[in-house]
Structure 1
């Protein structure tokens, strides 16, 4: 076998894809420098022929001596018999290490029916010991009908940072979220969806994107409401984050001094796991050394006694911030449920965290080093995307028994009734970009294991899960995800026939959350008038001729919408939006989300994928203060539209809950 052939064999065994087909259908082969870079990121040295040969031998030997797989997937409530070739003793332990069962096996071992959760199976034979990790999953993640009592539902999505109010001083707060939820619940909305509210990092003063967190399992302090308030949001359309933080942060420091001795804060700290201390240490150290731990003193580049000592008393302040954030989010969820929302908050899990941030620092043993996550060119961004986010290496994450993912999901799911997993395709394969400049390529993920973890945590929290499955969807991905109980994400403006025309709303997938637009797409009004095409032309992403073709395509799509939705030729923007929302509510999709920007007639999108400073991403304010939601004619109208579409019918007793697709 040639050197390159051996390298490709090793890469394939390690999950690196040797090629992929791009949006145009062109096959792109993974070059040798990319193969080496991605193997390095997985912890496999493959710089020379000798290293490749040694790595191949080790990988083959690694599974040859095992008596059982390192991981075993089981269904809850079912007895299991596992064949084993060598007589041994066995012991089954739960998550806390308590023994549940034990015995001796000659050619098989019988396990009792197990509840949903994680277990370890320990085998002992003549001179050998072995452990297998058991993931015992439910039949599927919770369904809408099982958690809400409705077979169909609707809600509103918006940007928390953009909410205006009389008290937030310039950036939407968790208290504003509660006010908005009460008003929308009164209109019949069953959920209120927001951008990720994961921690951006106290010292990361330049970071504003909610999709570039320092850690996805902790919460953003920018949204904490100051006790005395900061006065009304400024009139300007765009947020000045620096000016807001200059006012909010000293006020938070003052609040901390007044409440740090409270018993409920002490109780919060006492009940928290060790990750809270690690996170608060990172934040305290970042105050002194900056937000990127890769530039810190060597002895502080990992959690431990040295980091705790260096963080000192300042770490308590960052624990206090998390206490305040969690308390306010819990209050917002209680307000949503109290207003009649069956699901309440709809939170969003970002794809990854920033390099050098708290998540990478706390989980250095599972992070893939030397690569970041991105996407090849697709309909969201014709230039492709580099997200500058770290990835967890599949093998390392498995050896850690998925604890970083488990804890992250548990924290978010206990705060909401609906969780959206951004870029759910990453559960099956991730597009990694080497930091050495080599082209990107895909790497396989343990899809069935990750789905099992999600289903287990969702079952425990009774949380409905949506997987954002846009982009280049591999064959079988969507069906497997749906069968595990994760709903699809159907964005109507991307649901097209081969000629580019939009499918009728009646074609939107039943097992999905459907919407017309998202934070990453043109708004409804922007789509209708081709505002996104003009933005792309202004960015230089489209030539004049290309923009003309895009406008022609959009004209074709508008004509199809007019025909399918019976939109009159003389209809104005508000009437067009009303008719499209009416068609959306009648769609077969289990859930429908209406973007607040579309209800209020906003033309510009919140974010332009693939840009950082070229577009005012994550800075636009909504045009309506939350105190006025309750009396807003536009919100009353969307509520009436959704009610007319029978968006909250109870599940018929004789039919039972809606099933996952077969």
Structure 2
């Protein structure tokens, strides 16, 4: 834990405050903890700030004080609709300046003048030049959108993004008075007889259609579909992608690509041979083998990619590529380089710089591979659209609920292409909590708050647009990361980090804008250690929270009464970081953590607490008449879901694993290879695999759905 006896110099505290680095925090057990000085220095270094000596700290403080005066315009302005903030414009002292707005074409376009105010500010000498400040005021009636502010005068031209965002993201009409419920699924684990060993986007479409048509479900929450490595071993975790903007083509259904139907007999045989090599994996109850599935699928996709496309199809591909722009081209180039050189950490040094002559030459040499990876994203986009159509055709009011991971792989595409807006030499994680008592390090490079603002938040916007493109809702994993993130210096333990603050008004505002344009509901996973005011802020902005039954306690530590739950939330019995409910009731979360050495308390203490928790929950169910004497496991699971339905929550989620009686966890936080994280195929309580063909005829699922319908 941090050494509270180390005194932090006052100047270091001031510098940390200037860059949003928080020198203290409250632990999960209510203790006040101080961040060690060496951690503050390391985190500041990751922000490009030298705090290695008292003299360097003084220089850095002077620099940050003058920095706003070095720019004619702010790097970006994110403004709530209806507000009219003042804008500081810096020019050579005495120079005139004209400022105007070019409106977003999606908001109607046009030009608006910006009024200068009669506000005097004392000029300042910065870097040997006398700099003056003129003050302008934005109009209060600007439409929502991404506008451009321009300044022109003798001091030179300048521009910045002005993003007008909704004050609040409104719920769709059906949720303003009512509620919706849906299933939660790990896509890769839910397979059909047509899968290639891994659940795919066609399976998602069928699952959503059947859930809507046969069960009355309104949404299907799925794991992140973000892209993984295009060659070599594939990282199993969907929460450690190479990029959050693009999709993992592992999830493609090869047979559903239009060109597959027109292959020659010889080429069709190649596709069928590839499928046959992994089709048996659909019946394998062992850990899911992504690498085998992707090897076979990639071979087949190469055949389909080489097939001719019709004029209209080629035009559609070209249009998609143009629309996605430089972000897609950079990702495709990274994929091509990965195919050639392997994992990015082993690339030749010049290849690690996207702006190098080496990379420019490689871009020409690898043009066909770049085209192939762009094509993969195009067919992914097509199949995602089809899945959402199937969900809505099945009667779902929301449809597919996408999941946005916290961050990206340290050697992935985003770390390479967006290196100027991501911090290096730190990883993102979480301080210790009651379920992960050593803390967590997710090894992900975070956004640099200053750099992503200087980029006008465009990388953030583009990421959101892709994820929202074919979604009726989006879940933001660890939404607290839009307020602050736990930065862990390289080589330090997960408990030796510090929080770094972000401009949450800007990040949440842009999220609301892009979700409003997409017509999507937004859910923030606001679990773990967070500041109390955050939940209220998110609710005010129209962002739903997350309530997990096992985590909701009253002041005495007893299960929270359903009536006391939040309305503006997605409420569920369990989450993917816990065993399914049947396993949780059997204390398998304790046994697993003991076996893996993750406990920091004696196992007897942890097991006793788990049994007390279970007893308290059964007592709560009994008091409400939801269970009788000596209830079975199935009856308890159904009662817990009826308990959740008694809450006012606008969204209720049901894990598919709970619906079939699965007991094994999908993920054990704090582990890597010690447990088959993200590789567990869907099975029932006896370990029998459950495919999509059998899923909705499962007696246990039908019984749970009936209980939900009765409870509603």
Same fold, TM exceeding 0.5?
yes
Pick aligned residue for 1:167 from 190, 194, 207 = 194
**In structure 2, do the counterparts of structure 1 residues 455 and 326 end up closer, same or farther at CA, with 3 Å as the change threshold?**
same
- The answer to whether 1:374 aligns with 2:429 is yes
Offset at residue 252 of structure 1 (A): 1.8
Q: Name 1:531's counterpart in structure 2.
A: 588
Tell me the residue number matched to 2:609.
550
Moved more, 23-32 or 390-399: 23-32
3-state SS, counterpart of residue 546 of structure 2: strand
List per-residue Cα deviations over 1:466-515 (Å, max 9, x = no partner).
Answer: 00000012021111111111100001110013443321222221110000
Query: Contact 1:294–1:301 at 8 Å: present in 2 too?
Result: no
Q: Note the residue ranges of structure 2 that are not aligned, 5 or more in a row.
A: 1-6, 119-135, 256-271, 684-689
RMSD, aligned CA? 2.5
Aligned residues: 643
Q: Deviations over 1:210-229 (max 9, x none)?
A: 01100000001111112255
Cα distance, 1:99 vs structure 2: 5.0
Q: 1:103 to 1:166 in 2, by over 3 A?
A: closer
Matches within 5 A, 1:211-610: 211-227=239-255, 231=279, 233-258=282-307, 262-263=313-314, 264-292=316-344, 295-302=347-354, 305-437=360-492, 439-542=496-599, 543-566=602-625, 567-610=627-670
SS at match of 2:445: strand
Equivalent position of 1:155 in the other structure: 182
Please say which of residues 223-232 and 356-365 is displaced more in the overlay: 223-232
Q: CA deviation at 1:259?
A: 5.1
Matches of 1:68 and 1:407, distance apart in 2: 23
1:181 aligned partner: 208
What is the match of residue 655 of structure 1? none
Decide whether aligned partners of structure 1 residues 297 and 466 sit closer, same or farther in structure 2, where only a CA change above 3 A counts: same
Q: CA deviation at 1:273?
A: 1.3
Counterpart Cα distance in 2 of 1:30 and 1:436: 16
Partner of 2:173: 145
Give SS of 2:423's match.
strand
Q: CA deviation at 1:257?
A: 1.9
Taking a change above 3 Å as real, the CA distance of residues 83 and 466 of structure 1, as seen in their structure-2 partners, is closer
Q: Please point out which of 89, 94, 110 is paired with 2:98.
A: 89
Bigger relative contact order (CA 8 A; separation at least 6): 1
Deviation at 1:260, TM superposition (A): 5.9
Partner of 1:634: 700
Cα distance in 2 for residues equivalent to 1:402 and 1:519: 30
Distance 2:502 2:83 in 1: 28
Deviation of the 1:313 alpha carbon: 1.4
CA contact 2:191–2:200 (8 Å) conserved in 1: no
> Structure 1-normalised TM-score?
0.91
Contact 1:93-1:120 at 8 Å conserved across structures: yes
Alpha carbons of 1:169 and 1:124: their partners in 2 closer, same or farther (altered >3 Å)?
Answer: closer
Deviation at 1:3, TM superposition (A): 9.0
- Bigger drift between 513-522 and 241-250 goes to 241-250
- The two structures have a TM-score, normalised by structure 2, of 0.85
- Cα distance in 1 for partners of 2:24, 2:8 equals 18
The answer (yes or no) to whether the contact 2:80–2:509 under 8 Å persists in 1 is no
* More displaced stretch, 129-138 vs 218-227: 129-138
2:8–2:36 contact (8 Å) kept in structure 1: no
* Matched residue, 1:201: 229
- Flag the 1:110–1:242 CA change in 2: closer, same or farther, 3 A: closer
Q: Match of 1:80?
A: 84
Q: Deviations over 1:230-256 (max 9, x none)?
A: 546123243122332332221222222
Matched-pair contact (CA < 8 Å) for 2:167–2:509: no
Alpha-carbon distance, 1:68 to partner: 7.1
Matched-pair contact (CA < 8 Å) for 2:75–2:455: no
Instruction: Say whether the 8 Å CA contact 2:231–2:342 is kept in structure 1.
Output: yes
How far is 1:67 from its partner?
8.2
Structure 1: stretches of 5+ with no match in the other structure? 647-662
Is the CA contact (8 Å cut-off) linking 2:660 and 2:698 kept in structure 1?
Answer: no
Alpha carbons 1:371, 1:434 under 8 Å: kept: yes
What is the DSSP-based 3-state SS (H/G/I as helix, E as strand, rest coil) of the residue aligned with 1:348? strand
- Please give the alpha-carbon distance, in whole angstroms, between the structure 2 residues aligned to 1:575 and 1:84: 64
